[in-house]
């Protein structure tokens, strides 16, 4: 029996050296683990953007974050624009965003979304986007250079052609004249033969990539019809915004 006594005696000092923890009290390490589990999960950029009352307030917060973390700021800016009410295109084409926009693939979609939110003032807004290096054009611009159409990115305001019964999709380009809410049809047609994105039946801002000019099918004004692979479509706002 003596060996057992010796073993017990050897174990006593080790047990005595352990800290005393009473039931119901957590160690500092346990408290930190509990606080981590109970802490609210960080919001996504989309969730965070949804909490701002206006597009301006959302973009202002993105600017504030930009001073600390450029990547997070750009994610929030994209989420602000994706809300669908971002109309201040001047904010997009101003510092601090301009240095990176021409290198961001999503910047083209941002531009199209803003044009849609502003009710499709395509001519003026596309010029603003082009000033900061976003390579995008209007249908009128690509139609003026039929030999340089392939690969051109294009934004236009349009709607489905209800009279067309062919296999491809025909889009009628429309435009906004001044502050007139009603869109005037230009007469130009776009054949979206490769479109895989649903096109709204009402007026929408269409983002696409021109593949060629179809010489064999002319539009109402006699010009060749552009063939566009649709990349995205965004329903326009009810009223034009030109500020």
In angstroms, the Cα distances linking 224 to 45, 144, 187 are 43, 10, 12
With bands split at pLDDT 50, 70 and 90, how would you rate the model's confidence at 234? Answer: very high
Structural domain includes residue 43: no
Query: Rounded CA gap, 23 and 194, in Å?
Result: 69
Strand partners, 176: 183
Query: Rounded CA gap, 199 and 205, in Å?
Result: 10
Structural domain includes residue 127: yes
Structural domain includes residue 173: yes
DSSP string, 209-229: EEEEEEEEEE-TTSPEEEEEE
Alpha helices in 19-138 (DSSP H): 28-38, 45-50, 55-66, 70-82, 89-92, 98-101, 107-117, 122-131
What is residue 144's predicted lDDT score, i.e. its pLDDT?
86
Structural domain includes residue 192: yes
- Domain range for 131 is 87-235
In angstroms, the Cα distances linking 166 to 14, 56, 117, 162, 163 are 88, 44, 31, 11, 9
What is residue 8's predicted lDDT score, i.e. its pLDDT?
43
Structural domain includes residue 167: yes
> For residue 96, is the peptide bond before it cis, meaning its omega torsion is within 30 degrees of 0?
yes
Report the number of distinct structural domains present in the chain: 1
The answer to whether the CB of 115 falls within 8 A of the CB of 203 is no
| pLDDT over 90 at 78, yes or no | yes
| pLDDT over 70 at 48, yes or no | yes
CA angle 86, 91, 92 (to 5 degrees): 80
Q: Which of 53-62, 95-104, 172-181, 188-197 has the highest mean pLDDT?
A: 53-62
Closest of 101, 84, 82 to residue 93, by C-alpha: 101
What is residue 23's predicted lDDT score, i.e. its pLDDT?
39
Structural domain includes residue 240: no
User: Using one digit for the tens of pLDDT, what is the confidence trace for 165-193?
Assistant: 776 788 888 887 765 556 678 878 888 87
| pLDDT over 90 at 79, yes or no | yes
What is residue 69's predicted lDDT score, i.e. its pLDDT?
92
Structural domain includes residue 203: yes
Query: Rounded CA gap, 238 and 118, in Å?
Result: 9
Whichever domain contains 111, its CATH number is 2.40.50
With bands split at pLDDT 50, 70 and 90, how would you rate the model's confidence at 82? Answer: very high
How many percent of the chain have pLDDT more than 90?
A: 26
| pLDDT over 80 at 16, yes or no | no
The answer to whether the CB of 86 falls within 8 A of the CB of 59 is yes
Query: Rounded CA gap, 118 and 138, in Å?
Result: 16
Average pLDDT over residues 76-104: 85
Average pLDDT across the chain, whole number: 78
Structural domain includes residue 144: yes
User: Using one digit for the tens of pLDDT, what is the confidence trace for 114-153?
Assistant: 999 988 888 889 988 888 888 899 998 988 888 888 999 9
Q: Which DSSP category does 160 fall into?
A: E
Q: Is the pTM of this model over 0.85?
A: no
């Amino acid at each position: 029996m003596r060996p057992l006594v010796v073993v017990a005696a050897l174990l006593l000092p080790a047990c005595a050296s352990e800290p005393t923890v009473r039931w119901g009290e957590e160690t500092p390490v346990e408290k930190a683990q509990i606080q981590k589990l109970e802490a609210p999960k960080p919001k996504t950029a989309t969730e965070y953007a949804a909490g701002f009352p206006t597009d301006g307030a959302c973009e202002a917060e993105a600017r504030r974050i930009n001073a600390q973390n450029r990547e997070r700021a750009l994610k929030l800016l994209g989420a602000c624009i994706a809300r669908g009410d971002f109309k201040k295109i001047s904010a997009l084409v101003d510092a601090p965003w301009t240095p990176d926009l021409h290198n961001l693939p999503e910047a083209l979609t941002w531009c199209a979304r803003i044009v849609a939110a502003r009710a499709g003032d395509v001519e003026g807004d596309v010029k603003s986007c082009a000033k900061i290096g976003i390579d995008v054009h209007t249908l009128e611009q690509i139609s003026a250079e039929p030999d340089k159409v392939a690969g051109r990115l294009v934004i236009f305001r349009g709607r489905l052609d209800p009279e067309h019964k062919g296999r491809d999709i025909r889009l009628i380009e429309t435009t906004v004249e001044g502050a007139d809410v009603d869109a005037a049809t230009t007469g130009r047609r776009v054949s979206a033969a490769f479109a895989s994105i649903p096109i709204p039946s009402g007026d929408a801002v269409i983002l696409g990539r021109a593949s060629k000019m179809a010489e064999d099918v002319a539009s109402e004004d006699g010009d060749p019809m552009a063939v566009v692979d649709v990349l995205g479509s965004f329903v326009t706002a009810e009223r034009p915004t030109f500020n």
